[in-house]
Amino acid sequence: MSEAVAQAVAERFTRLYGAGPEGVWAAPGRVNLIGEHTDYNDGFVMPFALPHTAVAAVSRRTDGLLRLHSANIGDDVDDVDDADGADGADGAGGVTELRVADLAPETDRGWTAYPAGVVWALREAGHEVTGADIHLASTVPAGAGLSSSAALEVVVALALNDLYGLGLRGWQLARLCQRAENVYVGAPVGIMDQTAAACCEAGHALFLDTRDLSQRQIPFDLAAEGMRLLVVDTQVKHAHSEGEYGKRRAGCEKGAALLGVDALRDVPYDGLEAALERLGDDEEVRRLVRHVVTEDERVERVVSLLESGRTREIGPVLTEGHVSLRDDFRISCPELDLVVDTALAEGALGARMTGGGFGGSAIVLARAADVETLTKAVQEAFARAGFTAPRVFEAVPSAGARRLV
Ligand code: GAF
């Protein structure tokens, strides 16, 4: 794919800005295998990169201008609930022109907040970025819990890192992109998605400790073992800036404070019962704490199963994760539950919602031979329930952010 896509994006850049780009970069969306809502609790996560990418053609400018254009981003980009600026602030399908010196947090509600936020975060961190011309195109489904926004941020950060010779490593770019999203966009997300986009490797899942960003690439080749991982995009859109995500985060922080720890990551799995007792009758906080502590343990279990070649056995652990997100963290929805219940009833090895929740996508671990039956069963169940038809595709662990040209 890379060459044809890179060329098309470069050609569009040339038509827009009158000269070819200095380079073309790509950053992927992600699926999280296990470890949900643990990242802002300093815990463990295990995402892998999708083949779907955000692609950016970029050139530097020295006059303080940031010019942004997108081929297709903005109709329903993750986390932004007002997409009126879909194709530029002029609303006429044109180029959005901003002054880097004027960039200010929470002034932009459109897709342009992501690339502009990255420029703002780089400059805030003292990096001399004097402007850029950027044209973006993305194949990461937006609003589907597959990190289309982190892909946008990371591809821009990587391009500027290369062009301005900033010498930042993948995890450093991830931190800056998270800051852009937290402060400039105003969405209180953790560090998982940006690190996944920046650091994942083809054929691997990324075992990430979000406290210190130490990482291990875990070989993850389901095809070789006669299995597949399906992504079922329920088409129910979600937005992290809408409040429920922030409420869960605040509840977890309250739990940590009540327990006298820096983060819920510090509550040991074998100390969970005692911790819950100490929380007394604050049922909501007890549920949040139970999810986070058991989810960290599930990530560690999945890592050890994969590392000892017992891949099939991760299925039930994924399903346990779903039950915890549904009943304790309370962020599932009827569509996600229907995917999971239908898939399991049809013989899936495991299934769970993935990403922030309140809609988005579920993942289904299946024997290769069962994929067709399972897909049909989920589609029929959605039709019977009167839900919008889901989009189903196979997720193959793919490369992280990279320069294409
Ligand atoms: C969203 C956030 F962006 C991540 O940081 C993470 O918290 C995830 O939801 C839940 O695991 O994707």
Does residue 36 have its Cβ closer than 6 Å to ligand 1? yes
Q: Name which residue sits closest to atom 2 of ligand 1, judged by CA.
A: 189
What letter does residue 242 receive in the DSSP assignment? Answer: G
Active site residue 162: no
Does residue 115 have its Cβ closer than 6 Å to ligand 1? no
Q: Name which residue sits closest to atom 9 of ligand 1, judged by CA.
A: 356
Residue-level pLDDT at 1: 63
Residue-level pLDDT at 2: 76
Residue-level pLDDT at 80: 32
Which residue is catalytic, options 78, 79, 87, 193?
Answer: 193
Give me the residues of the chain with pLDDT under 70, please: 1, 74-93, 239-241
Residues 6 or more apart whose Cβ sits within 8 Å of residue 30: 47, 48, 49, 50, 146, 147, 150, 192, 193, 196, 197, 200
Does residue 356 have its Cβ closer than 6 Å to ligand 1? yes
Q: Is 128 annotated as a binding residue?
A: no
Residue-level pLDDT at 164: 98
Give this prediction's pTM: 0.95
Residue-level pLDDT at 73: 77
Residue-level pLDDT at 85: 30
Residue-level pLDDT at 74: 65
Q: Is 107 annotated as a binding residue?
A: no
Burial state string for 322-334 with b = 16 or more CB within 10 A and e = fewer than 16: bebbbebbebbbe
Residue-level pLDDT at 82: 28
Residue-level pLDDT at 76: 46
Q: Is 22 annotated as a binding residue?
A: no
